């Protein structure tokens, strides 16, 4: 592997000049840059990130922390963040960790010491634990907000409110909301939005859960849903909706028909029936926004913007 010194020798300049020519060209004469560039790619020189990081006191790593990977919900968010990270020459390391336990907190503190910044996706656990991490390194929250921290949140509360209202308008008098996941920061806001929308439009709302975002939880929830007598159900996650739909049908309940279940567009479209509400979170936009915020926070520690990304609500059309 060619080093800076090799390039310098070949080009006839000092290491320092070569370093500047490559990293801060505005400080170096154009002609010099040209010669150095030529020498560099004649030797196939590539920057040693480790050395660079040591000298600059950075690690070139950003951590993306999720409470679980079982939930496909995080995948597009990670993808979006990943794409942006690559653009700013950062590596994104994905870690499963929880802030709910002392052990989890300790693990994250250790991690924080080894990265330049972190994105905490839907972190559960007490706010002081979140603050403890944020005190170590620039931190951005996803789907949670906290005093003095930058965050980006998918505004599912508004979307769920709109869905509940829309259902009421379409004649549903009894609506069930399946909330979760347990410990979620978003959940109370969603439930509140659902309640408010129901109240405003004169429908009755039952709130169930919290449920984890899993197919199995959807299965479990079926009994409660049937018991509630609701004609429409709004689960907060797709996996939940699928588990619910399949189980309902397995018990001979017409879905939609006797009970309507909202989901995301790909699912509602598949049902081939009009008038089903779909809630779609743009995960990759969420991830990108989070990474952008992290970039900002890394250069300016006073960055504390709170972003709320709109969430799409669609009603399936006649086929």
Q: Could you say which of 27, 29, 51, 223 contacts its own copies (CB under 8 A)?
A: 51
Interaction between residue 5 and DNA (CB under 7 A): yes
Q: Could you say which of 47, 94, 132, 296 contacts DNA (CB under 7 A)?
A: 47
Q: Using CB under 8 A, which residues numbered 80 to 109 contact its own copies?
A: 82-83, 86, 91-96
How many residues at the interface with DNA, by CB under 7 A?
Answer: 29
Q: Of the two residues 161 and 277, which places its CB atom closer to its own copies in the complex?
A: 277
Pull the structure tokens for residue 248: 């309902």
Taking contact as CB under 7 A, which single stretch among the options 21-29, 107-115, 286-294, 298-306 is the one that binds DNA?
A: 21-29
> Nearest approach, Cβ of 195 to its own copies (angstroms)?
29
Q: Tally Cβ neighbours within 10 Å of residue 317.
A: 9
Q: Which residues does 250 contact at the CB level (< 8 Å), separation at least 6? A: none
Q: Of the two residues 31 and 147, which places its CB atom closer to DNA in the complex?
A: 31
Residue corresponding to tokens 């309902």: 248
By rule CB under 7 A, what string of x and - marks binding of each residue 51-80 to DNA? xx-xxxx-----------------------
Residue corresponding to tokens 């990081």: 53
Q: Which residues does 127 contact at the CB level (< 8 Å), separation at least 6? A: 146, 147
Q: Tally Cβ neighbours within 10 Å of residue 30.
A: 8
> Nearest approach, Cβ of 178 to its own copies (angstroms)?
15
Distances (CA, A) of 178 to 130, 166, 215, 279: 26, 17, 13, 14
Q: Of the two residues 55 and 102, which places its CB atom closer to DNA in the complex?
A: 55
From 144, 162, 84, 145, select the one nearest 117 (Cα to Cα): 84
Pull the structure tokens for residue 132: 């403890």
Q: Could you say which of 4, 157, 242, 298 contacts its own copies (CB under 8 A)?
A: 242
42 binds, among its own copies, DNA, none (CB under 5 to 8 A by kind): none
From 260, 257, 255, select the one nearest 278 (Cα to Cα): 260
Interaction between residue 136 and its own copies (CB under 8 A): no
Interaction between residue 44 and DNA (CB under 7 A): no
> Nearest approach, Cβ of 4 to DNA (angstroms)?
3
From 154, 204, 162, select the one nearest 184 (Cα to Cα): 154
247 binds, among its own copies, DNA, none (CB under 5 to 8 A by kind): its own copies
Q: Using CB under 7 A, which residues numbered 81 to 120 contact DNA?
A: none
> Nearest approach, Cβ of 160 to its own copies (angstroms)?
21
> Nearest approach, Cβ of 41 to DNA (angstroms)?
13
Report residue 134 CA to chain centroid gap: 17
Q: Which residues does 281 contact at the CB level (< 8 Å), separation at least 6? A: 73, 154, 156, 309, 311, 312
Q: Using CB under 8 A, which residues numbered 158 to 217 contact its own copies?
A: 214-216
Distances (CA, A) of 25 to 34, 150, 168, 235: 10, 33, 62, 54
Interaction between residue 29 and its own copies (CB under 8 A): no
Q: What is the DSSP letter of 260?
A: E
243 binds, among its own copies, DNA, none (CB under 5 to 8 A by kind): its own copies
């Amino acid at each position: 592997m060619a080093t800076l010194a090799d390039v310098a020798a070949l080009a006839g300049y000092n290491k320092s000049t070569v370093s500047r020519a490559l990293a801060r060209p505005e400080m170096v004469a154009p002609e010099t840059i040209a010669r150095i560039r030529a020498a560099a790619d004649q030797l196939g020189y590539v920057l040693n990130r480790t050395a660079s990081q040591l000298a600059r006191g950075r690690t070139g790593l950003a951590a993306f922390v999720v409470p679980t990977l079982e939930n496909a919900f995080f995948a597009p968010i990670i993808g979006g963040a990943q794409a942006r990270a690559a653009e700013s020459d950062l590596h994104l390391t994905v870690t499963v960790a929880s802030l709910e336990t002392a052990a989890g907190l300790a693990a994250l503190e250790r991690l924080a010491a080894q990265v330049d910044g972190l994105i905490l996706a839907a972190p559960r656990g007490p706010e002081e634990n979140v603050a403890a991490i944020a005190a170590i390194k620039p931190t951005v929250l996803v789907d949670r907000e906290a005093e003095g921290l930058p965050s980006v949140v998918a505004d599912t509360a508004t979307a769920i409110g709109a869905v509940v209202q829309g259902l009421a308008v379409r004649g549903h008098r009894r609506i069930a909301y399946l909330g979760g996941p347990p410990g979620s920061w978003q959940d109370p806001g969603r439930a509140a939005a659902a309640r408010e929308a129901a109240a405003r439009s004169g429908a009755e709302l039952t709130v169930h859960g919290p449920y984890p975002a899993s197919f199995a939880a959807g299965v479990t929830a079926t009994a409660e849903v049937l018991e509630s007598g609701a004609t429409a159900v709004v689960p907060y996650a797709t996996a939940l909706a699928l588990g619910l739909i399949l189980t309902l049908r397995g018990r001979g309940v017409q879905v939609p028909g006797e009970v309507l279940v909202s989901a995301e567009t790909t699912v509602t479209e598949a049902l081939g029936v009009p008038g089903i509400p779909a809630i779609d979170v743009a995960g990759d936009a969420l991830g990108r926004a989070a990474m952008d915020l992290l970039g900002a926070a890394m250069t300016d520690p006073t960055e504390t913007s709170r972003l709320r990304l709109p969430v799409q609500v669609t009603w399936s059309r006649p086929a």
